[in-house]
Amino acid sequence: MTIIAASEKIKHNVQDGIFVIQLDDAKSLNSMTGHDYLYLGHLMEIADRDSAVYLTVLQSSGRFFSSGANVGNIGAMQSAQDENGELGKWLSEFVSRNLFVTHVFAKHTKPIVCCLNGPAVGLSAAIVMLCDVVYAMNNSVYLLFPFANLALVTEGALSVTLPMKLGYNVASEILTLARPVTFDQLNGKVVTRNYNLKDTQEFNSQVLQDLKRATGDLHKESIPGMKRLLQRSVLDQMKRANVDEVNDALSYWVRGLPQQRFREIKSKQRIHKM
Amino acid sequence: MTIIAASEKIKHNVQDGIFVIQLDDAKSLNSMTGHDYLYLGHLMEIADRDSAVYLTVLQSSGRFFSSGANVGNIGAMQSAQDENGELGKWLSEFVSRNLFVTHVFAKHTKPIVCCLNGPAVGLSAAIVMLCDVVYAMNNSVYLLFPFANLALVTEGALSVTLPMKLGYNVASEILTLARPVTFDQLNGKVVTRNYNLKDTQEFNSQVLQDLKRATGDLHKESIPGMKRLLQRSVLDQMKRANVDEVNDALSYWVRGLPQQRFREIKSKQRIHKM
Amino acid sequence: MTIIAASEKIKHNVQDGIFVIQLDDAKSLNSMTGHDYLYLGHLMEIADRDSAVYLTVLQSSGRFFSSGANVGNIGAMQSAQDENGELGKWLSEFVSRNLFVTHVFAKHTKPIVCCLNGPAVGLSAAIVMLCDVVYAMNNSVYLLFPFANLALVTEGALSVTLPMKLGYNVASEILTLARPVTFDQLNGKVVTRNYNLKDTQEFNSQVLQDLKRATGDLHKESIPGMKRLLQRSVLDQMKRANVDEVNDALSYWVRGLPQQRFREIKSKQRIHKM
Amino acid sequence: MTIIAASEKIKHNVQDGIFVIQLDDAKSLNSMTGHDYLYLGHLMEIADRDSAVYLTVLQSSGRFFSSGANVGNIGAMQSAQDENGELGKWLSEFVSRNLFVTHVFAKHTKPIVCCLNGPAVGLSAAIVMLCDVVYAMNNSVYLLFPFANLALVTEGALSVTLPMKLGYNVASEILTLARPVTFDQLNGKVVTRNYNLKDTQEFNSQVLQDLKRATGDLHKESIPGMKRLLQRSVLDQMKRANVDEVNDALSYWVRGLPQQRFREIKSKQRIHKM
Amino acid sequence: MTIIAASEKIKHNVQDGIFVIQLDDAKSLNSMTGHDYLYLGHLMEIADRDSAVYLTVLQSSGRFFSSGANVGNIGAMQSAQDENGELGKWLSEFVSRNLFVTHVFAKHTKPIVCCLNGPAVGLSAAIVMLCDVVYAMNNSVYLLFPFANLALVTEGALSVTLPMKLGYNVASEILTLARPVTFDQLNGKVVTRNYNLKDTQEFNSQVLQDLKRATGDLHKESIPGMKRLLQRSVLDQMKRANVDEVNDALSYWVRGLPQQRFREIKSKQRIHKM
Amino acid sequence: MTIIAASEKIKHNVQDGIFVIQLDDAKSLNSMTGHDYLYLGHLMEIADRDSAVYLTVLQSSGRFFSSGANVGNIGAMQSAQDENGELGKWLSEFVSRNLFVTHVFAKHTKPIVCCLNGPAVGLSAAIVMLCDVVYAMNNSVYLLFPFANLALVTEGALSVTLPMKLGYNVASEILTLARPVTFDQLNGKVVTRNYNLKDTQEFNSQVLQDLKRATGDLHKESIPGMKRLLQRSVLDQMKRANVDEVNDALSYWVRGLPQQRFREIKSKQRIHKM
């Protein structure tokens, strides 16, 4: 029985107690299908259950961290016939996947370190906001939450993580006006170090080397021990937000509103303003 | 665009501001497929949005209120090939549906009156526990939560509603030992009136007549107004429980454990002890 | 500077560390004007601040504990001209008073013992539900929450105390159908002892004597000490409910809906069904 | 039946789904009487109920955003005879009004954009802190919370919004020492953009133009949709704070302490240190 | 390195996935020293960590379940000299032990079944209230919470479990008047079955046999799985209550008040009224 | 009866309603034994109960604010024989003390002003994070939380205060990598003013003088009044964190892990990386 077919776009390995997951589809800017997000969540669960792992590191490749949901994939889902109607289709294609990947990240018991090599968009950007430590490759990184441009609402527990990490008013403006989150807004709040590098591969290996050196002498068990203490104050709100967000968004999908706007994005009739 | 294909087994009508939903498949003891549960949830949303509706009434037919998930349907889902593996299949078939129907009942803003004509099992019994007012046809009604017998855990926010409505210790014993909840345990806590009738149709129409008479002179707007005030203390916990329950259960489905036990139930190798 | 003019209808005294407040207007069935409720709240605050007081006892007189808001008084408020309009008037006459008396009862740090000699209605009945210990004179006592009959919603944090003390489904039916709460429903949940007496004066003095005897040997400081521990789990929900209830109700008052129904009650065109 | 008499000092209009409220009493520095605050709250409720409105914008005029409670008005209230005493008077004049305006802002379901043209003081400054997005006209704006100087405590749910938006220690020092909040402290936390303008009218129209351009292509329904998700994490705490704050402050009013200090402010015997 | 020296008065064994702990000091009525409570907590932790255990059963011996804290032991602690004063002594002797044993019971992840063979007093009775399922040997069992008689306040998270399981008003009266909780009050709420037996040994083995039979066919992993879901709604409140209770009680111990009253109990000058 | 023997290393006095506590053991860098922490907590309780006190000020002496737990003292505790084993010993020596001092700081009802003259380490640094206002002597101050280096987890409710005051991601990195918190990270968040001084005595008296001048005209009662309002949103989470932290850490102490690492620190085999 296969739990989930491996995605060729996502690699992983374990090094000295550090579980490394890498998005490895630079040519699509690491866009993700629904299946890719599930597979990412599945790897997170393997890392979580492995008692030898004390840190989980998320890396990417190429220019973008991840350009978000694969627009072609949404088109395919949309044209698929479902004799039972739109409700069941979007529960399967949207609600169940977003809920799962968000839940798996929110409840992860090891600190999650994100190597942010470039821009991240949509649900992928929400995942960056769910990470505990974020390092930036340089000051060109940004996050984009274009939900109001797509006839959607917040995903990935963003309605909790965004105000918690960037401040309530900053989060409100970003979401209301579908504004990008610049490096300057992230710095010192979400991003705790800027590596000032240009090559993603060099950045990824530098971060890993730094993490190994910094934690080499530490008592590894203390590290997830403190993560579990930190997350207890916020986990219930994240769970509540997750279920509210997917169910609120469902009514937009059932009416076909985001689908229409994804089509416009694909055909360049609509852009995300920067 | 069809939101959801109607289920022939579930009827509905509106009478003087009362939205009536009826399970109408007496010969299967009102067993429910995944699609039936979605359609039930869909009707609840229609009732919720209709500003002329001040009460939602849930009725059934025949001997059972509902025997729960259709065992044959689970078998069909199980044998269906999904090239992407078990995780995606059970996210679609289990997580997304349970989450949706539970969420829709938990956030419903009109009082939900349940006409409990007979036994209810599993998720259907959890739905009874999500209703605000429950009337019993007679003292033969009971609820059955056989999750431990099926290699599952609580569904339908039961981990909140069962201790809240029956008491923490009573709930613990029922779940731990997969014991039925008898009429005596329900009476005065979940059930507020026993009609002492034998015919479901007579029971259903008697309840409706009583509700119309009792609310005839009342200011209708006050009724959902008070429901919204009552639910504010408990709704966040129900949402949190819902997302915890579906995600905890997922690991059992992915390993094939409940599927095996449903097969044993179907072939009479396994029974629910009463 | 007078904090509040004394109401002749409400007496009080202190006996051996017990602060006794008595509603003493038997001929009006202890109906209460807005000013009476404020004065009652004011006495509660005096009891709370007095470090020699370890118990607060609420007594009444005659046949009713309290028939609730004085209907004539509401009529007078209604006809009063307020050049600034209805919003300011009902904020003063309804919101501020209900909020204050509910807050004062909810945060009181001594156990409140209620001697329930007869029926209580509306806000007065909500106050009974805010007491920590309730003794019944006999099995004729009942509570009446006719909010749906008056175009109102719950008051006095009832949306929290009623489900907490009587059970969620019982509370839902009582409010939805504006049903009285009978002695049998109160017994063992709200009422912990039935004195089986017929004379209110005898009942009041018997309860006081029993309380003095039962606590005579106890360490008095422990008694409010445990009240403060008990209330910590529920106080925040009561505060939240209080502000929600008064603000939700305000929109009914501003539209004149309860005023109309109070007029019908006064002229016997409308009755509370029992 | 008049809900509330219009205040001549507060204007409003609706433009393309944006509800604009303007404080228009530059010569009094937009000081507010109790009635003005109620009228402002009333306008907020109209904006909230209008389904065509997706944004609410708060503007002012002249040099100050608002100098807070009208000192002359407080003197008038104080000298008014109330035969029932101080408790009822200050429940009407203070508790009910502060509670209402705070509640209405806290539960507002559209993003509230504040055009902060100059200083704001007291309850008016608390209202600025309740807005979701704040734009500054220039770096001369500041907020003043002189509660300790006035023998008062926090108002307008500030005990929640101030630590949430400025940080716990910054909020503590501001309140403990009655210090102003400077532009530098607001910038990047409460204020997300400095327009660097000198004319209030130009500032107001520039903000409106920018909002229309930025949201022109967006799906309007998503905007309040995300506001509702954002506020769910904080609304209960704001409600709890609101009821605590008004009731804690009441004891100061009943003893005449802030009244005395407002008199000293009026007669220039007391100043707010900057 | 010894974690804790075994107490001869407490036995334990594991049978088919059931971890059985037995208080075995019938001649002292199973009174407990501070060390006994620690050892009991230590055994609970062993049961919790053992992944083969799905149920934890607490049994006793003789006439009493447990008469509570050993009075002689308290006398010994009291007379012990501690050069650093009373604060350090009672932090060690009272706070740290009560906190630990309460925490260990509250966070236990297997259902705890209590075989209540007779009366339980004080902290031991609080432990009974922390169990998930309680079976009574007969209708002579009772619980005694004589905190007000001992110049103490609630222990063992009772300020949460008592109102949650017996109802708020019942809990208030029991604590305020130091009244015993009778079998009739426990039945149907805390106690879910009365075995109607007279011999403790027979009772203990009958319960074990029933548990094995009832769970024989069940999927064992589901049982702690559902316990974890049930406890999520209440665990944070129990933790908060635990820390409040031990710190509130500390001030009584430091002043020597309970010590004096334990001496009076020992010398029969003081009794617990029944 | 002595509550607690005075520590010679900690002085205190009261000046014009300001309660000043001073760590006065410059030559040990103000390292603290378990008894010192208790005595500090005891002084905080005296300040809290004194109704004439409206501010509590924490000062130190010499180069360090406090170098944290006295390493020699831990060695002494470790070698002490406890016939009852490690559990009881570390409950007394670690759990009860950390719990007490954290609880006393968290619930303190006057604003706590910390004069941070130099570095603070471990539990002492956690105490700095529990203060409401922190002034820095100069930009050489820092905090060190070397828990992962010591085989420990967060103490002093840091799992709540650190993310609340420094941001979630900053807190995560600090704890995960045992990194110091620099002045730049503290400034504007924890520290609200940098005095740019070099002499601790001058710094201490300058702060006191500034506090007296700034509060001279204020209504003193308002100051603790606002502290109580501010702390209501966070106190329950701090209590929950406190009990979780001490109990989670206990398992490390019982296994001897931090003891071993404190020995290595003492013998210079292990250092805290800066």
Provide the terminal-to-terminal Cα distance of chain A, rounded to the nearest Å: 45
Catalytic residue at C155? yes
* CB-CB neighbors (< 8 A) of B273 in chain E: 214, 217
In a domain, E209, yes or no: no
In a domain, F212, yes or no: no
Q: CB F229 to CB D241 under 8 A?
A: yes
Structural domain harbouring F53: 10-201+220-267
In a domain, E274, yes or no: no
**Residue located via tokens 């004390």:** A54
**H or E, element range at B10:** strand B10-15
pLDDT value of residue C74:
78
pLDDT value of residue D75:
75
pLDDT value of residue F199:
98
Contact yes or no for C243/C149 (Cβ under 8 A):
no
* CB-CB neighbors (< 8 A) of D2 in chain C: 85-86
In a domain, F272, yes or no: no
In a domain, D110, yes or no: yes
Domain at B34, CATH number: 3.90.226.10
D205 touches chain C (CB under 8 A): no
Over its C-alpha atoms, chain B yields an Rg (Å, rounded) of 18
The active-site residue, picked from B8, B83, B86, B155, is: B155
Q: CB D151 to CB F221 under 8 A?
A: yes
Q: What is the number of alpha carbons within 13 Å of residue B94 lying toward its C-beta?
A: 28
- The C-alpha atoms of residue E90 and residue C74 are separated, in whole angstroms, by 58
Q: What is the pLDDT of residues B160-179, one digit of tens each?
A: 999 999 999 999 999 999 99
- The C-alpha atoms of residue C145 and residue D265 are separated, in whole angstroms, by 48
CA quadruple C121, C124, C130, C132: dihedral positive or negative? negative
Pick A4's closest partner by Cβ from B85, B243, B247: B85
Asked if residue C256 has pLDDT above 90, the reply is: yes
In a domain, D213, yes or no: no
Q: CB A254 to CB B3 under 8 A?
A: yes
In a domain, F49, yes or no: yes
pLDDT value of residue B129:
98
Residue A93: closest CA among chain B residues belongs to which residue? B92
Contact yes or no for D153/D147 (Cβ under 8 A):
yes
pLDDT value of residue F76:
78
Å between E1 CA and nearest CA of chain C: 39
Alpha helices in B50-142 (DSSP H): 71-79, 86-90, 96-106, 122-130
Chain F adjacent subunits, 3+ CB pairs under 8 A: A, D, E
Chains B and E touch (3+ CB pairs under 8 A): yes
Q: What is the pLDDT of residues A114-145, one digit of tens each?
A: 999 999 999 999 999 999 999 999 999 999 99
Q: CB F239 to CB E236 under 8 A?
A: no
F92 touches chain E (CB under 8 A): yes
CA quadruple D194, D199, D203, D209: dihedral positive or negative? negative
Q: What is the pLDDT of residues B237-261, one digit of tens each?
A: 999 999 999 999 999 999 999 999 9
Contacts of E199 (CB under 8 A, 6+ apart): none
F87 touches chain E (CB under 8 A): yes
Structure tokens at C250: 């305000």
Residues of chain D with pLDDT under 50: none
Å between D150 CA and nearest CA of chain A: 29
Asked if residue B71 has pLDDT above 80, the reply is: no
Q: Give the pLDDT mean for C132-137.
A: 98
C84 touches chain D (CB under 8 A): yes
Helices and strands in chain B: count of H runs, count of E runs? 12, 10
Asked if residue A80 has pLDDT above 90, the reply is: no
Distances (CA, A) of D19 to A179, B145, D118, D224, D227: 22, 51, 21, 13, 16
Å between C62 CA and nearest CA of chain D: 27
In tens digits, chain F (274 residues) has pLDDT values of 799 999 999 999 999 999 999 999 999 999 999 999 999 999 999 999 999 999 999 999 999 999 998 877 777 777 777 778 999 999 999 999 999 999 999 999 999 999 999 999 999 999 999 999 999 999 999 999 999 999 999 999 999 999 999 999 999 999 999 999 999 999 999 999 999 999 999 999 999 999 999 999 999 999 999 999 999 999 999 999 999 999 999 999 999 999 999 999 999 999 888 7
- The C-alpha atoms of residue B160 and residue E112 are separated, in whole angstroms, by 19
Contact yes or no for A110/A19 (Cβ under 8 A):
yes
Q: CB B171 to CB E230 under 8 A?
A: yes
Provide the terminal-to-terminal Cα distance of chain E, rounded to the nearest Å: 45
Q: Give the pLDDT mean for E189-203.
A: 98
pLDDT value of residue F47:
98
pLDDT value of residue F1:
73
The active-site residue, picked from A8, A155, A202, A264, is: A155
Asked if residue A73 has pLDDT above 80, the reply is: no
In a domain, E30, yes or no: yes
pLDDT value of residue A273:
79
**H or E, element range at F134:** strand F133-136
Pick B111's closest partner by Cβ from C176, C244, C273: C176
Pick E172's closest partner by Cβ from C111, C214, C228: C111
String of b and e for E211-231 (b: at least 16 CB within 10 Å)?
beebbeebbbebbbbbbbbbb
Which region among C78-87, C238-247, E31-40 has the lowest average model confidence (pLDDT)? C78-87
Q: CA angle C66-C68-C70, nearest 5°?
A: 115
pLDDT value of residue E80:
76
How many domains, in total, are found in chain E? 1
Q: What is the pLDDT of residues B186-225, one digit of tens each?
A: 999 999 999 999 999 999 999 999 999 999 999 999 999 9
**H or E, element range at D127:** helix D122-130
* CB-CB neighbors (< 8 A) of A149 in chain D: 217-219
Q: What is the pLDDT of residues D74-111, one digit of tens each?
A: 777 777 767 789 999 999 999 999 999 999 999 999 99
The active-site residue, picked from D45, D83, D155, D173, is: D155
* CB-CB neighbors (< 8 A) of B261 in chain E: 219
Short-list D118, D139, D116, D117, CA closest to D129? D116
Q: What is the pLDDT of residues B102-111, one digit of tens each?
A: 999 999 999 9
Pick E237's closest partner by Cβ from C111, C228, C233: C233
Q: What is the pLDDT of residues E227-239, one digit of tens each?
A: 999 999 999 999 9
Asked if residue E17 has pLDDT above 80, the reply is: yes
**H or E, element range at D122:** helix D122-130
Å between C46 CA and nearest CA of chain B: 30
- The C-alpha atoms of residue F252 and residue F147 are separated, in whole angstroms, by 11
pLDDT value of residue B59:
98
